Structure 1
Amino acid sequence: MKLKLSTLRRWVSPGLSIQGKIFIAFSLVALLSILSITGIVYVNMRETIKENAVTSVSDSIRQADESLNMMLEEIDRLNTVVVTNKNTVIDTLLSPSEEISYEWFQEQKRIDEFLSSLTDYKPYITRIAVVGLNGKVFFTGGPWLDRTVIGTRMMDYILVNGSRHAYFKQTGVSDAITVGREIRYDRKRIGVVMVDLNYDFIKKTYGVKPTADSMLYVLDEQGEFVYLPESPPSFAPSAEKVVSLHQEFASTGDAVEREIAGRSYIVVSRKSDHTGWTTLALIPMGSLLSESTKLRNLMFEVSAIVLIVVLIGSLQVSSKITINIRRLKSMMTLVKDGNLSLPMKEIKTKDEIGQLYHVFIGMLAELKRLLEGIRVSEKEKREAELTALQAQIRPHFLYNSLNTIKYLARLNGTPNIEEVSGSLIELMRGVLGNSNEFLTVREELDYVRSYISIVKYKYMQPIPVHEEIEDEALLECKVLKLMLQPIVENAVLHGIGSREQGGFVMIRVSMESHNLKIEVTDNGKGMTQEQMDRLLGEQSKGEAPSRFSGMGVRNVHERIVRLYGEPYGVKLYSELGLYTKVVITFPLVQEQEISKPIVREVV
């Protein structure tokens, strides 16, 4: 019995609970198993019953044939004794004495005694007779026999077939099986000997029935019935149908299932090697399998009881399996509703559900920790917003104060104070007022110019800063905020600050291998390798940081590497007494069409 997978999926709906799916799966498996086992057992049982019936009938027919053959062989021996007895049988048949004479009475007495001695203690023999072709008839037993037997169908059959032995079925007043043999003398037929077999022995011999309504027929080689069932059932096939079956199975000796007159029969046939008779047994399938039908019904009843027990057991098992899943579902529903602090009933199993429970508890603890962190973070954020609001007030006040100083310097005719105030305003506006993390190269250079405008008054002399831009479009590329000013500040403080005159700073912006390269070169006193390593490494104690920006060369390098990774960042090249060059490498964030180089000098 097969069940398509699509049908199973249709039965097990996705909307069912796990318990329902397990219950349905167990039920289907149990149902299919029980039906399969019941069907297989029933089919095998049917085949076994049929095989046993065929074997039983075949054995019964064989035993009946063997029993009959033993009697017939003994009768054949009696016939042989008769036909070979010259003094009593042959001489009597050839004697010229007539009936109702003394010699005839003597012959009659002698042959009667001889025949009686042959049939004594043989109850299956009803009559033995010697019939001469000259009209003499001698017999013992019954029924009565006279010379009218000469010329009958039985007599002719024996004379034609009785060279050895001939078997003939008599019908009439008394049914019997006649075994005859011709009597010869001097190569001439002078008569026959006939022995009648009691038909009751035939009935007992072939009265085997595997079932109450089975039928058994015995037919001779001419298709005549030797044995018929005494009281056949009403549905028994006609004699013509039995004769046709005899013609079909006379030589095969098979056991087949055949449809006869709308009924199914098992037909078993056997042909006797001794007599040439064919025995046909017809066993109705309905009666043969009636017990199997009862057993089948009993099996279905037992299967139904077993299925009910399995369904109840599967319901209990599925409930037991899914109880922890339902507990876990209830916990998750509470968590979904926001109840994180409710008591959780522990699941102690070691299976996947228990492991899932521990994972869920860990996730819940992590969720509580994250929510607490968010709460603290939100509190700190509100405090930071308040602090930022307060910090915004101070720069505005500082801008206004510096603007006042700038206007007063202009009114009093002090352009240097006006220039320093204006540059400081622009620089602080870029540092404090612009919240963007990225600026263009152009804006970075503006901050550098503002810084140079302020710091040149410290040295009481101009600080030459040369700008060389390889491509005007490079000025629109994005770089980190306050990336260039700390480098220039370092060049001014540690490079050219110690020179009395002739110092300068060169800023070159170019593109190399699709990267943005900015070089800051000064002609100061230079640095040793140890100084360069310290500049990119940890700051030594006592070393003053950049006094304006608070960010050094190392800070710029770490910011670039942290954002873009290697090989971007800051590299230093220097020789003592000659120069120091800082090379900053950025990915080219924005590219535009290349135009002619420009050179600008800031003093």
Structure 2
Amino acid sequence: MKLATLRRWFSPQTTMQGKIFFAFGLITFLSIVSVTGIVYVNMRDTIKHNAVTSVSDSIRQADESLNIMLEEIDRLNTVVVTSKNTVIDTIMSPNEEISYEWFQEQKRITEFLSVLINYKPYISRVAVVGLNGKVFFTGGPWMDRTVLGTPMLNYMLQNGSRHAYFKPEGAADAITVGREIRYNRETVGIVMVDLDYEFIKKTYGVKPTADSLLYVLDEQNGYVYQSESAPSSFAPSLEKVVEIKRKLAGQGDVMEQKINGRSYIVVSRLSEYTGWSTLALIPLDSLLSESTRIRNLMAEVAIIVFIIILIGSHQVSSRTTLNIRRLRSMMMQVKDGNLSFPKTEIKTKDEIGQLYRVFVSMVDELKRLMEGIRNSEKKKREAELTALQAQIRPHFLYNSLNTIKYLAKLNGVPNIEEVSGSLIELMRGLLGNSNEFLTLQEELDYVFSYVSIVKYKYMEPIQVHTQIEDESLLGCKVLKLMLQPLVENAIMHGIGPSENGGQVLIRVYAEDQDVLIEVIDNGKGMEQEQMDALLGSLDREDAASRFSSMGIRNAHERIVRMFGEPYGLSLHSEPGLYTKVEIRFPKIHHAETSAQEVV
């Protein structure tokens, strides 16, 4: 039975489950073999790189930790050298041993130094040495005036203007950080703080392998720290370490070096704060001794992973095939038009589960869209009814205005008859004409209908004149309601506020293939700032104080949007004399002609 199953899976005409299982197995085998081979070939370089990175980080952290300690000690030295009453005055005091005044001074400065030595646990001694022979200290070891003239004190005097670091040759108990004490621009003494060497050993106790070596050299190429656990037969001499340091100065921070017949990876770091150089020597044979064990471990892991993936691929192929069949069944029902079929839930989170959820969402969206189509059809029928009702309303309004006009005529009120008649003509053009273009003659008729209405608002008569240079221009097509708002603005904001009777001139003429219309009023005019604000920023609300949003802004934007540049409106005015709005648009003979079909 098992043989028959395997033959069915691996036959040329296999099932989907067999194809998935075979593909997973083949891909997994090739992937594991490729990855294992690549990892094994590059393992040596990877181990070396990781070791270098780890040691570099460890050296950097150790160097930064030591720098922090030294910075703290430098701050303590600064406190001492700036303490005039306690330190400088005591050094400069003429009191000699043994006197009561000298005893009081010693007590005061010793208490001061005791406070400083308790500041950090890595400080083993704080001492103040005067060049006049006075020595004060707290901690250990003992210090007296015999320190004068020693190499350490001479080094401090030569290099301690800011701070100096000194480690006696062969000493392994402390590193001394010193600084000059100056008074009246003269050196009067030295303050010295000893850093406990145990803290340095803990700080630099970083070793990637048991036989790695670590050295810290000062600026004079003397040992500040060196590994203690290295076998003497492998440890290089100081001269060899200094030579390696000089080589690294020209080659970089990492190099391979053969020392005493043994290959090492050398990693170095130069401290910008102290000037000390840290060198870590990692033996290559110890570092790479783990490569064989890692290789065997990778082979074992690869075999285990391959077996697990084969088992998993069998389960996945089985479950995936089952879910595909379920999904296919649901799709066939949708194909037959059944959108309310019972859904067999697929809970997996793989691609089949995602496809199932997308399919269900698609079916739900399809049901929603079909319901939306039904609602849209219903709303469409309601909108058609509303549109039919809206067509009735203008007719009712026209009939009502005609009734008012008839009653005004019967009662002998000609002004009401004129206003209602003009309003009928104006509204018939606005509501009854849906065309975007009108003839210039029709636009002028709307203008005069508007003037017939608005003239009763003012005491003085409003005179609107037209000057048509070519009567054929009256047949040109213009944008609907392009001229009437400009005349409205001229009347309301130009000549309306004036006490004298105002006049509005509408001048129409042709220029090349363009039509120009000028609307001129003899009103109060505008300042240049008002015109700049109006023409330069048509969307500003303060510009609308002279011309409303239905005036220049609306007309200009419609013309530019329809015909493009350089068509549109321009403004000219003289305060107290006149205002002229000039309209430029192409000459068009047919309403259905597009904006580009210019004669």
Fold shared, TM-score > 0.5 on shorter chain: no
TM range (shorter): 0.3 to 0.5
Structure whose alpha-carbon radius of gyration is higher: 1
Please, what TM-score do these two structures have when normalized by structure 1? 0.43
